[in-house]
Structure 1
């Protein structure tokens, strides 16, 4: 069996290659592993963030490529095509965290009717949330007709939900408004939606975006207000503000901190959609920028809410959101190496319109 993988240079995201390798199915089965054929996966600006922070946050460690290259993690669906694991059958459909590739070999442990964990040695010290794979047959709610929205949005909206929950859990650090950059990105839109569900707290959400995307963000309607990057100075600097930085831009981060000064009560770094101008450590007025680490909030809420508590609360937000995405999300599908290459370059260079959701496959 031939595996095809799309790799990028870890130190230059514009350099790419298609790498091929051979998977010995019989040997993997004999070793108690399973081979998954990655059917389809989504590609969004969030995956560019994975690459931009690949070394800093260990995203490259999940699917090592070697020779200075990395495999960007994506979310998608796969089918079991060979299995040496008792209870995991050929033909089962799996949802989870994959490389941009045609196949993945996993070492399933902690097998339950709903999921399993990849127990591969190189993944054991990585955040467990990324190592867990759902057995789709165990969840009739995840019918194939809903796979596109699940791949494109669900992982992002989980991050959105956790950010909103983190801010709420901390009393919004005393803020009266939350300012969110890259407001047209799907994670930011999800955050706007989740913040709206916390509207009883009286917190105003403001989406920051480019002039070209302003009309789109306003039309979706998830934020209380929308402002463009060139209008940051028009925002009221006296309002205690929490900033959620999805862009990662040093220039935007500096402008926000300098404008609000001491009234910037929390600065939360999340994404890197503006990956070429990423902010490093800087001495800025206001709260010191801190990275948001979703697995830490997941772990905290598992302790606070007990088994199933987080999943139940997120499910409510997810179901509510999916009721509205049909008005703005357009799914665009592509198959084969050329389509994946084109989609990656368009996403990297910011050429994918915000209403589009890319679903890809390296199978021809």
Structure 2
């Protein structure tokens, strides 16, 4: 069969503006109980920029080690088994999961079952299990050839939104009626707004979902139909400071945080930090009155898995996903990009804030 030439897209860890493609070879013969994936496609959203910006702090660079000083940004997508020395994983099977921005990935399947397996590579054993599981698409009825790209774009973000919605519900929304989502056009915010809006209607809750966005995206956000009110960043002072609010922050923008905290004061009862869409403005001249609480989705997922069991967690997630999938499909334009140069351009655009909320990016280096 011969050795397989592979490509890795890497970025400089101390200067994310620098990126390049590295070549490497996988051997003709794999060691025992190994599987080589050919990565067919993966999505690229602002969530991937969060992975890069927080790569050292949250350990995202540890998943797919590469050349010193560089990192491979993780992405969610689909891959096909092209070589296998594992008796329970067959050539031709396809899996969904957490992949490098690469053409191939070598894994060591463990705990193999009908639904998929864990990657048992030594360097991944101490990392969150939710990122190490590869799902056999034949066992997942929510994945079809027509919806793979939508699944790749939204599902990983949707899981975070699902868990935030579940957490806020568990906390009885901190006895508030007003929830502000910053970067309201971002895909994770869209999913959360959709879930909150559905819960509000089904359960008769007195909730007001407020989308905070740029002027350029205000029309798009308003048109989604999931937000009760859309305001722009320069209108923060118009918020009613006499009512309790929750803020779910996807921007990471220091000045936005300062203004929200200053206007709402003690009526900001829960400040949930999630994303880093505006990673260039994470620092500012004003000291923040409060730090906020970082929401680490894998921790809440593991909590629910222990309490509910994996079957119930999967069932609840699947039902919520179907609702969102039906709602979001008409709002999205999916664009496909192939090759290293296109990936480099999409990465640069996303890194520098050139994001079209109506667009979903699907890439491939294979």
TM-aligned CA deviation for residue 279 of structure 1: 4.7
Given the alignment of the two structures, is residue 6 of structure 1 paired with residue 9 of structure 2, yes or no?
A: yes
Matches within 5 A, 1:1-364: 1-26=4-29, 28=30, 30-199=31-200, 200-279=204-283, 284-285=288-289, 288-363=291-366
Report the secondary structure of 2:320's partner residue: helix
Contact 1:25-1:35 at 8 Å conserved across structures = no
Structure 1 residue runs of 4 or more that deviate by more than 3 Å after TM superposition: 282-285
Report the secondary structure of 1:207's partner residue: strand
**Structure 1 CA distance for aligned equivalents of residues 78 and 306 of structure 2:** 29
TM-aligned CA deviation for residue 16 of structure 1: 0.4
TM-aligned CA deviation for residue 288 of structure 1: 4.0
- Which deviates further from its counterpart, 213-222 or 132-141? 132-141
TM-aligned CA deviation for residue 11 of structure 1: 1.3
**Structure 1 CA distance for aligned equivalents of residues 213 and 96 of structure 2:** 32
**Structure 2 CA distance for aligned equivalents of residues 196 and 299 of structure 1:** 25
Contact 2:37-2:79 at 8 Å conserved across structures = yes
Change in CA separation of 1:230 and 1:23 when aligned onto 2, cut-off 3 Å: same
Report the secondary structure of 2:113's partner residue: coil
Report the secondary structure of 1:214's partner residue: helix
Contact 1:253-1:279 at 8 Å conserved across structures = no
Report the secondary structure of 1:19's partner residue: strand
TM-aligned CA deviation for residue 139 of structure 1: 2.4
How far does the alpha carbon of each residue in 1:307-363 deviate from its partner, in whole angstroms, 9 at most, with x for none? 311211111111011112222100000111111111111111121310000000012
Contact 1:266-1:288 at 8 Å conserved across structures = no
- Which deviates further from its counterpart, 177-186 or 140-149? 140-149
TM-aligned CA deviation for residue 290 of structure 1: 1.0
Contact 1:95-1:133 at 8 Å conserved across structures = yes
How far does the alpha carbon of each residue in 1:272-330 deviate from its partner, in whole angstroms, 9 at most, with x for none? 000111259x8534x64011011111122123323311211111111011112222100
Unpaired segments of 5 or more residues in structure 1?
none
Report the secondary structure of 1:308's partner residue: helix
Contact 1:79-1:93 at 8 Å conserved across structures = yes
**Structure 1 CA distance for aligned equivalents of residues 310 and 362 of structure 2:** 32
TM-score (norm 1): 0.96
Change in CA separation of 1:25 and 1:130 when aligned onto 2, cut-off 3 Å: farther
| Aligned-residue CA RMSD (Å) | 1.5
